[in-house]
A = this chain, B = another copy of it.
Amino acid sequence: MSQFRLEVRVKPRPGILDPQGKAIHHALNSLGWEGVDDVHVGKAIYLDLVADDADAAMEAAEAMCRKLLANPVTETFEVSLVEEPVGAES
């Protein structure tokens, strides 16, 4: 069993209302950044978990997304491995 760090990015589906993104977009334009065309805001979730191997860790994280972390109606998610195993546990 090794420890893995995974990064999960949950973002609103295209077309879904994103008031936080709109607010940031407006604020950036007000601060003088005219080149900003669009802003979307999602969540970045960092999971430290113990698993047999990287594939098992990725599968567990995807199951967590489907069950708890993301709302499949309004959000999409991506999972990626941040670090290789940092320590082995027996």
Contact = CB atoms under 8 A, between A and B. Distances in A.
A17 interface: no
Contacts of A60: 33, 35
A3 B45 contact: no
Chain B CB within 10 A, most for which of A10, A21, A38, A46 = A46
Q: In the complex this chain forms, how many copies of it are found?
A: 2
A3 B36 CA distance: 9
Contact of A28 (B27, B46, B51, B68): B68
A50 B68 contact: no
Interface of A: 1, 3, 7, 9-11, 21, 24, 27-28, 31, 33, 35-51, 60, 64, 67-69
Given A33-B49, A38-B48, 7 more contacts: A28-B64, A36-B48, A37-B50, A39-B46, A41-B43, A42-B44, A42-B46
